């Protein structure tokens, strides 16, 4: 919505036993800008809690990563 677009989504695939990021699907304008944070998190075994606690400036596209991580924990702010 920050780009005036309403179509798109992000899906995080999480290991239910340890909350580590296994993968993700992203659809929308400029979502490739979000890949570095996700690949770094996946390569280093970070949890959704770590992703959610990372700083995501407002208003930016990266906030969708925080929202998706918070949603995976059951604490989404804007859903």
Q: Which of 60, 57, 62 is nearest to 2 (CA)?
A: 60
The tokens of 36 are what? 């570095």
φ, ψ dihedrals at 27, nearest 5°: -135, 130
Question: So which residues are the catalytic ones?
Answer: 58
Matching residue, tokens 């700083």 = 55
């Amino acid at each position: 919505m920050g780009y005036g677009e309403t179509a798109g989504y992000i899906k995080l695939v999480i290991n239910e036993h340890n909350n580590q990021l296994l993968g993700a699907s992203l659809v929308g304008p400029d979502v490739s800008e979000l890949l570095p944070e996700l690949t770094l998190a996946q390569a280093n075994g970070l949890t959704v809690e770590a992703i959610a606690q990372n700083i995501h400036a407002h208003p930016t596209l990266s906030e969708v990563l925080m929202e998706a991580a918070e949603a995976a924990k059951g604490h989404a702010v804007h859903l």
